[in-house]
């Protein structure tokens, strides 16, 4: 108490000045409509600025939560899109809800490691068997082909991307429907190659290349890239088509994994059969 009295005694002049200022301002704002309006406007402006700062801070700390919500909404749209379904019979149109059946399901994963400058590049994801990830699942980024899962542990998955010397993918030209196998020459992470295309095929620079959908990793019609240039092979019998990849392997953050719901049934067809016979 003695310290408090000493404090008041030390700053009594300042405190008296502040008190008179408050009294004067109170009298001004109570008797003058104009001054009161200016004061209230100023208070509202300051309060609004503080509220904006509070909402900005709140939005920043909830950004991850909002991103996750948007991701789930986007995933829900993909689950209901055409690429998730397969037509029951391409020769007949049925007048009911059985024309299409569910073929693929999807889930997100985050990239925790990746490479792009090696001959054999890999991508590591933060989801594994306990999240339902299986070897052979296709991997997309913004609905463009990234690669295929080749190894899975409980919490992580290893992906062989398009830019790997052993990667192959059945693709076709969106317009002409000529098809072949996409491979990576190993020199530029932005480019891939499509060989043994017949010379009578009409191929133009800028033509879209999409997945053929012949395996269980990818639905048909997904973006792979566009034609960058067309050259004759060494024998002059086929075209070598150089493809600019749709996915940018230097900017991988979040990817989409594809699960074929019919994969087990398809694999059972070839059990015990040598495909080389």
- More confident of the two residues 248 and 1: 248
| 240, HSE (Cβ side, Cα atoms, 13 Å) | 12
Average pLDDT value for residue range 21-29: 66
pLDDT tens readout for residues 178-231: 999 999 999 999 999 998 899 888 899 999 999 998 777 899 999 999 999 999
pLDDT grade for 265, boundaries at 50, 70 and 90: confident
Q: How far apart are CA 186 and CA 38, in angstroms?
A: 70
Strand bridging mode 223-232 / 208-211: antiparallel
pLDDT at 163 (0 to 100): 97
pLDDT tens readout for residues 106-156: 999 999 999 999 999 999 999 999 999 999 999 999 889 999 999 999 999
Average pLDDT value for residue range 244-265: 89
Highest mean pLDDT among 1-10, 57-66, 87-96, 135-144: 135-144
Task: Give the residue carrying structure tokens 């509070």.
Answer: 54
pLDDT at 231 (0 to 100): 92
pLDDT at 63 (0 to 100): 54
Tokens coding 44: 């509202």
Q: How far apart are CA 125 and CA 158, in angstroms?
A: 6
CB-based contacts of 199, cutoff 8 Å, min separation 6: 232, 237, 238, 239
Tokens coding 152: 């899975």
């Amino acid at each position: 108490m003695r310290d408090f009295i000493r404090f008041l005694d030390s700053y009594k002049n300042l405190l008296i000045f502040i008190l008179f200022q408050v009294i004067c301002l109170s009298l001004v704002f109570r008797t003058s409509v104009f001054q009161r309006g200016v004061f209230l406007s100023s208070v509202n402006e300051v309060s609004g600025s503080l509220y904006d700062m509070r909402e900005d801070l709140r939005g920043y700390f909830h950004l991850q939560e909002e991103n996750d919500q948007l991701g789930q909404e986007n995933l829900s749209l993909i689950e209901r899109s055409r690429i998730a379904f397969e037509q029951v019979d391409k020769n007949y149109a049925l007048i009911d809800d059985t024309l299409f059946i569910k073929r693929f399901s999807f889930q997100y994963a985050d990239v925790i490691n990746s490479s792009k400058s090696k001959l054999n590049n890999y991508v590591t994801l933060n989801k594994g068997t306990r999240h339902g990830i299986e070897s052979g699942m296709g991997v997309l980024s913004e609905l463009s082909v990234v690669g295929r899962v080749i190894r899975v542990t409980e919490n992580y998955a290893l992906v062989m991307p398009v830019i790997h010397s052993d990667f192959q993918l059945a693709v076709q030209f969106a317009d002409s429907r000529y098809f072949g196998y996409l491979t990576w020459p190993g020199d530029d992470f932005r480019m891939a190659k499509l060989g043994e295309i017949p010379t009578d095929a009409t191929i133009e620079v800028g033509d879209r290349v999409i997945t053929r959908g012949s395996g269980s990793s990818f639905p048909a019609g997904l973006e792979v890239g566009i034609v960058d240039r067309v050259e004759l092979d060494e024998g002059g019998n086929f075209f070598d088509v150089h493809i600019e990849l749709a996915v940018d392997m230097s900017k991988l953050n979040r990817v989409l994994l594809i699960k074929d719901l019919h994969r087990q049934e398809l694999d059972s067809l070839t059990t015990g059969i040598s495909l080389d016979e």
